[in-house]
Structure 1
Amino acid sequence: MPTTIAGIKEKLDAQVGQKVLVTAQAGRKKVTQRQGILSETYPAIFIVKLNKREGSFDRVSYSYADLLTNNISLTFEEAE
């Protein structure tokens, strides 16, 4: 991942529409993983549209600073 917020946004702009696995720190020694599609990027945040599960959110948003500080990590699925 790039080391600046502008670099991170630029890289994510090129990945819009790709399947992604989001691994987020959920607290002390807790990690959550969510799968979805990178749907939109904005100047300060990006939106991941999640796969449907009962009782879950439709989409989540994260800031580019979350990636920069390693609070979350993204793993993109390779296009076949």
Structure 2
Amino acid sequence: MKKAGIRSITQKKYRTSSSKHTVEKRENLLEQDFTTETINEKWAGDITYIKTLRDGWCYLASVMDLHSKKLLVIHFHEQ
């Protein structure tokens, strides 16, 4: 790209604003041990923010059973 004199179009990354709320520290129950012997023994979750052209910022929340690797809950919500 440099030799051809072209550049990609970049956008600034979204940064969350600082919150005045205090964050409550939680105990790490799994301690990076994701092994299981049966279903419903350990679940993991995540929330991801997605910027869409039509709806603005949305979030995707999911929960996975670590044994079966199946997604148990998927929730998509517009802000």
TM bin, normalised by shorter chain, reads under 0.3
State TM-score, norm by structure 2. 0.25
Pick the structure with more helix per residue.
1
Task: Give the greater-gyration-radius structure (CA).
Answer: 2
Comparing both chains, which one has the higher relative contact order based on Cα–Cα distances under 8 Å and sequence gaps of 6 or more?
Answer: 1
Q: Which has the higher strand share?
A: 1
Give the TM-score of the pair, scaled to structure 1.
0.25
